[in-house]
A and B are shown apart, each in its own frame.
Chain A
Amino acid sequence: MACSFHDTLHYSSPANGGRGIVRTGMLVPESVELFVCPFACGRHGAISAVKQNLKQRLSYLYVNQADIVNGYDDLIIPAVGELLETLQKKPKVVLIFVSCLDDLIGTDHEALQEKLEETYPGIAFRSCHMNPISKGSKTPPGISIQNNTFSLLNKREDRDENINSLGNLIPVDEASELYPFLETLGCANLRHITHYETFEGYQDMAKSRANLVITPVARQAAEQMKKKHGMSYCFVPVSYRIEQIEQDYEHMYEELRKPGTNPGKMDFTIYKEDALKKIEEAKSVIKDMPIIVDASATKCPFGLARALVEYGFHVVRVQAPEVIGIDKGNFEWLCENHPEIEVVESLHHKSVLRENQIPDSIAIGVDGAYLAGSKYVMDLFDDEGMFGYHGVSCIMEKLAHAMDAEVELEKMIHEYGLVV
């Protein structure tokens, strides 16, 4: 196992990318997005939005070189007016997105937002950034869009016992033990942004007493909500390791129970036993088949690989663009205990050659499947829907069925509609 990553030219495989900030921003009910940028910057987001049937909420103000030199702040206000006249239904929120170059020209976004809200009363505006140039900073686009999304919740006094789930684009699967667990803590409703069709309804999320953050991109947003709403939060990234899940529930019990209360602890036995049973079933089906774990499937590919190795699966490769902070411990554990596992840097320039193909393998994640030429893919993207023991049971079921049919990978990637 090569225990270092290199700063090279980046290869962009056809399976590279994510759901994108356009789609994340669209989670805000009754919102539209206006991108203010050179036309080129908007192409991938727009085409992807067409594929996801979201384009009707996405518009562009194309700026040219002269506009950039002169500053385009003043152009945005009339453009918003023109956009509002065109739209059949008046939005409640307009997200104004700028691109990388805006970081270098000093647009005064606070003043712009004030002017917009003054000019178009009854509409909330946010300046958002589609600026991958800020990757590596504290606020790259995936994080700033979460901050903007949840900054739209207005402070309110009427609070209840419920909890919000932040950061995950798709709610945790409703069959997860997470829900009965939260009920034991008095939370009957784990609120998620997708539950709301109106902006007014979305404001219910400001009633919750706490936030549960299961993906790192929403940690800053949770911090900001703590300051603004006095809402505590608990960060529990998705894990597929039974031992870690046990600790996570202990941690959640301490952090999410109402202060001063001491509710009875939930018995997770049936969930844990189901997960363990499904692990054995999956092993009996796929046996020694080589497994590739890739970062398109999960935020912590080294964590998932570690879990699989601990369960006795034959992991041969982990593929990732980098090691993120919360996965570092797992990476180091694998380096120390399983140096035979290959690490493929998906962005490394040599990845273009797609050397060392492993056709007879199961790839967990499409990017891993593409570089390895895997015949079989376990369809998991960004941990969507996964959490806790039920998450383990789900991926084991998927793994057990991964070899039912060879994958049509190009079609699968196309259907994902990924955006770099």
Chain B
Amino acid sequence: MAVLSVYLSPFAPDYSGVSTVMFDLNTVTAMHDASGCTGNYTGYDEPRWYGSKSPIFCSGLREIDAILGDDEKLIRKMLQAAEDLKPDLMSLVGSPVPMVIGSDMQGIAEELQARSGIPSLGFDTTGTAYYDKGVAMATIALLKKFTKKQEMISGTVNILGANPLDFGKGKNLEVLRNKIKEAGYGITACLSMGYNMDALQKASSAQVNLAVSRAGYLIAEYMYKTYGIPYLCGIPVGEKAGAGYFELLEEVIRTGENRIQRSTAEEKGEGEVLIIGEQVQSNALREALVTDFGETKVTVACIFGKEAALSSEGDLSLESEREITNEINSGKYRMIIADPFMEQLMEEGNKSVFLKNALYAVSSKVCGDETPDMIGADFNTWYKAK
């Protein structure tokens, strides 16, 4: 069903999610498009692009190639680039045109691998799904290709679902890594931001997976089923809530059972606080508001899709600008935490306090400075200041 969006900019798509996962690896990755899709990623979805030498390219798809289904041209360009750049891996990333003409990106990747001897992956991304699907799709494909089951090493964890569209350049992620280390855990791999092939291959030896985004949750589910690694899904936001997170981690280690960080608020349903954003981060913000600041009515509204397993009663999935606008102006909320771009949706007379939490997948580099420091007590400092 077509959806009108008058004020908000489009959110980050699946092909950008895949590309962010490939960014750190020694690949030759090509987005199969004319130029604009690659421009989305390099210009607005990859905060690390400036100054990097990450070999992520555009295939330079042209009308005649699409009409003739000329995959050979793409393969030739990939092989030529591989000869010059000597990658460990090649990957092909789909976009709307390959979707329309039915290009088999995985099939082309198999052909590439057969001809070059270089492991290759193909992703049937379409530009009609959000980035988190791409992050999960690419990371799981990499795990399938490169990570064999191996012996568990006690006291080690992986971070799953780390990506720049949820964590920008990674300031909060860095703090999180330090907190994990301070708590006495070793980090085997941080998938899929700030890692390398070696870490990827060792990822199945971790004792616990820490899923820090919806994409992370999807990856953690895969790793639980494939390697038997239990997971904790959440982020240690807030002083007390953050301490609770590490207690939950201990519990996962002790029991081997998965845990999902959830609000302990008694009252559900209509809330006085509305958090709009990515589900796992929004859940963690709610946990902090409830545990550290005594809020009792906090509603999470997911804008990139809602996982039932991560939801509390009354949580929402807002799938269009109209739905977001209606919720923001419903009169139910004393406070709204959302990306700065959404402030313009507040209608005249709406007295809700609007707290800005910039999401790179929404406002890209335009609002980069408006992401709060949120790990542990940093959140308390930010929230009190607001």
Contacts and interface: CB of A to CB of B under 8 A. Distances in A.
Interface stretch (A11-19, A218-226, A242-250): A11-19
A352 B55 contact: yes
A12 B9 CA distance: 22
Most B-side CB within 10 Å, residue of A44, A49, A350: A44
Given A38-B127, A39-B13, A44-B43, 7 more contacts: A11-B57, A59-B5, A64-B1, A83-B6, A104-B66, A133-B66, A137-B63
A60 interface: yes
Contact of A133 (B6, B61, B84): B61
Contact of B57 (A9, A131, A413): A9
A101 to B, nearest CB: 5
Interface in B45-101: 45, 49-51, 53-55, 57-63, 66-67, 77-78, 80-81, 84-85, 95-97, 99-101
A43 B10 contact: yes
Contacts of B36: 41, 44, 99-100, 130, 132, 420
B40 A44 contact: yes
Given A65-B126, A353-B53, A419-B43, A43 B9 contact: yes
Interface in B1-51: 1-7, 9-16, 28, 30, 33-40, 42-45, 49-51
B35 A132 contact: yes
A38 B42 contact: no
Contacts of A13: 42
B148 interface: no
B67 A354 contact: no
B205 interface: no
Given A39-B11, A59-B5, A9 B58 contact: yes
A8 B81 contact: yes
A7 interface: yes
Contacts of A50: 9, 341, 363, 366
A50 B363 CA distance: 9
B156 interface: no
A411 to B, nearest CB: 11
B37 A41 contact: yes
Interface of B: 1-7, 9-16, 28, 30, 33-40, 42-45, 49-51, 53-55, 57-63, 66-67, 77-78, 80-81, 84-85, 95-97, 99-101, 126-128, 341, 363-366
B366 A104 contact: no
A75 interface: yes
Interface string A121-136: 0000000001111111
A12 B58 contact: yes
A289 to B, nearest CB: 24
23 contacts: A10-B35, A10-B38, A10-B58, A10-B60, A37-B96, A40-B13, A40-B95, A40-B128, A43-B44, A47-B9, A49-B9, A55-B9, A61-B5, A62-B4, A64-B2, A100-B34, A104-B101, A133-B61, A133-B66, A349-B77, A350-B84, A352-B85, A419-B39
Contacts of B81: 8-9, 349
A185 B43 CA distance: 45
A82 interface: yes
Nearest to B38: A12
Most B-side CB within 10 Å, residue of A14, A51, A350, A420: A420
Nearest to B77: A9
Contacts of B4: 59-62, 79, 82-83
A217 to B, nearest CB: 16
A150 B96 CA distance: 30
B126 A38 contact: yes
B43 A101 contact: no
A219 B39 CA distance: 27
A62 B2 contact: yes
Given A12-B42, A44-B39, A104-B67, A39 B128 contact: yes
Given A38-B126, A86-B6, A414-B365, A7 B77 contact: yes
A198 to B, nearest CB: 23
A326 interface: no
A144 B39 CA distance: 20
Interface in A40-96: 40-44, 46-51, 55-56, 59-68, 72, 75, 79, 82-83, 86-87
Most B-side CB within 10 Å, residue of A12, A50, A413: A12
Contacts of A137: 63
A420 B38 contact: yes
B222 to A, nearest CB: 24
Contacts of B59: 9-10
Given A40-B15, A43-B44, A62 B10 contact: yes
Contacts of A103: 63, 66
Nearest to B76: A7
B2 A17 contact: no
A105 interface: yes
Contacts of B44: 43-44, 47
Contact of B42 (A51, A56, A420): A420
Contacts of A136: 62
Contacts of A160: none
A21 to B, nearest CB: 10
A410 B48 CA distance: 12
Closest 7 CB pairs of A and B: A420-B39, A40-B127, A40-B13, A46-B9, A9-B57, A132-B34, A133-B34
A276 interface: no
Contacts of B67: 104
A8 B77 contact: yes
A132 B62 CA distance: 8
A418 interface: yes
